[in-house]
Amino acid sequence: MTCKGCLETVHYTKEEVHALVEEQLLFEENLVDEATYQNRLDECEKCPHLQYETTCGFCGCFVAFRAKLADKECPSPENKRWYKKKGVT
């Protein structure tokens, strides 16, 4: 997936983000379950650093993608809202 900084625009609808994320997730193996995913997204949606309703202000990732990956955690340097799945390095 191309970084939003490398694309023509950083503004995407939730539907466009969903399509991009679903396509990229086909290449990923280590994903969290649906309940964990939804909890992570809920935390991201409450974060004051969420941009355009889709993008993390700390790392630039689409939150819908980062939240699905088991080996990722909230990138906030001050107050992590969620952590990587235990046992995943």
Is 18 a domain residue?
A: yes
In sequence order, which residues have a C-beta less than 8 Å from that of residue 40 and are 6 or more positions away?
Answer: 32, 63, 67, 74, 81, 82
Is 83 a domain residue?
A: no
**Global pTM exceeds 0.85:** no
Is 56 a domain residue?
A: yes
| pLDDT tens per residue across all 89 residues of the chain | 545 555 556 678 889 989 999 999 999 999 999 999 999 999 999 999 999 999 999 999 999 999 999 999 999 998 999 999 887 65
* Mean pLDDT, the chain, integer: 88
Is 87 a domain residue?
A: no
Q: How much is the pLDDT for 13?
A: 85
Is 29 a domain residue?
A: yes
Is 28 a domain residue?
A: yes
DSSP, res 31: B
Look at the chain and report how many structural domains it folds into: 1
3-state secondary structure of 56: strand
**Alpha-carbon distance 68 to 63, whole Å?**
8
Domain encompassing residue 50: 4-66
3-state secondary structure of 62: strand
Is 84 a domain residue?
A: no
Is 38 a domain residue?
A: yes
**Alpha-carbon distance 10 to 29, whole Å?**
27
Q: How much is the pLDDT for 42?
A: 97
Q: How much is the pLDDT for 49?
A: 95
